[in-house]
Amino acid sequence: MMKSCGNLQTQKGAALVVSLLILLVVTVVGLAGMRTSTQELRMASNAEDKQTAFQQAQAAIDFLVNNPNLLPVTGGVGFTLCTTNETRADGTACNTNTVVLPDPFCDDATTSSGCTANQWSGTSRLRLTRQNPGTGLPPRLLATSSAMFASAYYLGESRYDATDVGRGADGLGAGLMRIIPK
């Protein structure tokens, strides 16, 4: 004996409507998840670009610290030594543009042929400004004779800017000192 499950004409597509509503909800949740993922990826990429820009600026300052021959003992207060195409903070030209950053500062994304000694990416800039005439006393903790040595102070400024290729930008400054024989 078979039982009838009811009249088929009374259902009128309710299962179809319910399944389409469930499909719509799942689609909306999926799209919201994709949007969130994309936004989080952008935020992570921006954080990485900012960190890379800071590291590039710090590396240029480290290059300056590790090469004390770049700290000029000639020139007076305000004497400025820069990388190519760099200007002073007031917009005037530097006294000399002789600082050449080594190849690791090359950003291959902005140059088609890579870097040579005179062709760097243009995104890393370094400026060094003399802050005193070089007649200051050396710090006591260095245990140097003030009769035989003087100290000169400098401001080193590094700038990394890769915003034209969609990357970060950052700048960094550091005070430097050089002991100068009298």
Beta-bridge partners for 69: none
Rounded-to-integer distance, Cα 180 and Cα 99, Å: 21
In the predicted model, residues of the chain with pLDDT beneath 70 are 1-11, 88-89, 103-122, 142
The DSSP letter of residue 113 is S
Q: What's residue 177's pLDDT?
A: 84
Q: What's residue 41's pLDDT?
A: 93
Q: Cβ atoms within 10 A of the Cβ of 154, count?
A: 21
Rounded-to-integer distance, Cα 58 and Cα 174, Å: 9
| Strand ranges of the sheet holding 96-99, from the earlier edge strand across to the other edge | 96-99, 80-83, 124-130, 149-161, 169-181
Nearest-5° Cα angle at 146, 142 to 152: 75
- pLDDT tens for each residue of 125-161: 888 888 888 777 777 776 777 778 888 888 989 888 8
Structure token pair of residue 20: 């389409």
Q: What's residue 96's pLDDT?
A: 82
Helices (H), 12-166: 14-65
Beta-bridge partners for 177: 153
End-to-end alpha carbon distance in the chain: 119
Rounded-to-integer distance, Cα 10 and Cα 57, Å: 75
- Is the pTM higher than 0.75? no
Q: What's residue 11's pLDDT?
A: 62
Structure token pair of residue 69: 């021959």
The DSSP letter of residue 173 is E
